[in-house]
Amino acid sequence: MDLAAVTGSLSSIGYGLAAIGPGIGVGIVFAAYITSTARQPESAGLTRTYMFLGFAIVEALALFGLVLGFIWSK
């Protein structure tokens, strides 16, 4: 199969592959929160703030990837 014969937008496939990173990042953020809360339950209030901050940053990077996929597809 000739690569020049491939038509269509590959940005959706690229974003699908790029979404794996934020998915893993969210898992790492919540795993770290659960581990730290299990080790020191009294610090749950402090680490909860960092958990939400880390979650927001990881999801913002995923949204940047989505937007860049739309920008580059034009």
pLDDT tens, 19-71? 788 889 899 999 999 999 999 999 999 999 999 999 999 889 888 877 877 77
How many Å apart are CA 48 and CA 9, to the nearest integer? 40
Sequence-separated contacts (24+) of 46-55 with Cβ below 8 Å: 54/29, 55/26, 55/29, 55/30
Give the per-residue pLDDT at 40: 95
User: Would the pLDDT of 17 be above 90?
Assistant: no
Q: Is the pLDDT of residue 6 over 60?
A: no
Instruction: Name the pLDDT band for 16 (thresholds 50, 70, 90).
Output: confident
Taking the C-alpha atoms of residue 54 and residue 22, their distance in angstroms, rounded to an integer, is: 11
Domain ranges of the chain: 23-72
Distance in angstroms (rounded) separating the CA atoms of residues 15 and 36: 32
